[in-house]
Copies of this chain bind each other. A is one copy, B any other.
């Protein structure tokens, strides 16, 4: 059960203390408070965990400070979408809104290789009005003998260049808790001229210890990708690890499932789950067409499969796109074959725009029909 408190309720206020005192005395109930400091106001939610069936909605609603009560199912307590649940389905970070209604493109390098390539990439993004990118510094690789990313060594120039080209948010995978600190430190050193959304890759979706640690900080939002070989439900539960530790600025990423049934694509594209995640949770949904499709082939209509997959995600309401570009794919150290060319960036962005417009028209259409009833 969640008690949503009246806005601006301070934790030092007597009513708040009185409420907490009352709740903590309830038998068989654990109390957990979460405070979200927003730009305009501070919102507090109090989670009651345990034998909440014995509690009456009316009783709880009449407690001091309480504005609204939501009874939640067991699953995805914090991130889930429960009955009569009006909690917001978005968050803001560094001037960018991530919500179930917005769309942000994160085009960039799968793996940072050279300063020159980073600069070419960021300049192109700036020139096309983009303020987000992806930049891989820490790369988990199947074989221990493959290139593992430049790690923290590349952070200073990546962040500097991001500042120079007015990039506001970089999606960057972390594979160890120390990476969070390294990123924080490097950002600080470069004057916090950009922001980072921490990415948890598919190999770490159920690395619960990493999730707990990343969930305990609230400086950086988190993009958690669906896990290989586990059900969607299990991946959503993994996302809940982040939120249960306090960080609810979470985006959920679809990136295809590993099975030869998806051949000749590298993975089985799973973007039909975009609306499913939006229904089950309040998380914005990211799609990763590059890793899903994994090849650069196209169909006789002249459109690359990666762009088709992107359009498929977007027309169903995807909120974020993670896509690999590279100035010289043949020189990319990781996943070159699937990268789009820099010169394809405007085409890609316009293609996304067409699909997004179609999505918006579809939403308008269904609203019109619902009204007509």
Complex Cα distance, B300 from A317, in Å, reads 10
Contact string against B for A residues 309-321, beta-carbon threshold 8 Å, 1 for contact and 0 otherwise: 1011101110000
List A231-283 residues whose CB lies under 8 Å from chain B.
Answer: 231-234, 237-238, 240-241, 244-245, 257-265, 268-276, 278-279
Q: Which residues does chain B contribute within 8 Å of A100, judged by CB atoms?
A: 300
Instruction: Report the minimum CB–CB distance from A309 to chain B (whole Å).
Output: 5
CB-CB under 8 A for A308 and B316, given A142-B237, A271-B272: yes
Q: How many copies does the complex hold?
A: 4
CB-CB under 8 A for A89 and B300, given A268-B257, A354-B365: yes
Contact string against B for A residues 192-214, beta-carbon threshold 8 Å, 1 for contact and 0 otherwise: 00000000000110111110100
Q: Which residues does chain B contribute within 8 Å of A257, judged by CB atoms?
A: 229, 261, 268
Q: Determine the residue in chain B with the shortest Cβ distance to A241.
A: B144
Contact of A276 among B230, B265, B351 (CB under 8 A): B265
On whether the beta carbons of B361 and A347 are closer than 8 Å, the reply is no
On whether the beta carbons of B358 and A315 are closer than 8 Å, the reply is yes
Q: Which residues does chain B contribute within 8 Å of A311, judged by CB atoms?
A: 315-316, 358, 362
Number of interface residues of A (CB under 8 A): 91
Chain A at the B interface: SS class: helix
On whether the beta carbons of A279 and B302 are closer than 8 Å, the reply is no
On whether the beta carbons of A361 and B354 are closer than 8 Å, the reply is yes
Q: Which residues does chain B contribute within 8 Å of A245, judged by CB atoms?
A: 144
Complex Cα distance, B305 from A232, in Å, reads 16
On whether the beta carbons of A363 and B302 are closer than 8 Å, the reply is yes
Contact string against B for A residues 332-373, beta-carbon threshold 8 Å, 1 for contact and 0 otherwise: 000000000000000100110011011001110111011000
Stretch at the interface among A4-12, A61-69, A73-81, A217-225: A73-81
A-B contact pairs, 26 of them (CB 8 A): A81-B300, A89-B300, A144-B245, A207-B207, A261-B268, A262-B270, A265-B272, A265-B276, A268-B268, A268-B272, A269-B272, A272-B305, A275-B299, A276-B299, A279-B297, A279-B298, A302-B366, A303-B317, A308-B315, A308-B316, A311-B316, A315-B315, A347-B366, A354-B358, A354-B361, A358-B358
Q: A142-B237, A279-B300, A302-B370 are in contact. List 18 more A-B contacts (CB 8 A).
A: A144-B208, A144-B241, A229-B229, A231-B258, A261-B270, A262-B272, A272-B312, A274-B299, A275-B303, A275-B305, A278-B300, A301-B317, A302-B367, A309-B316, A311-B315, A311-B316, A311-B358, A358-B358
User: 9 tightest A-B contacts by CB?
Assistant: A229-B229, A275-B299, A269-B272, A203-B206, A358-B358, A228-B229, A176-B209, A260-B260, A312-B312
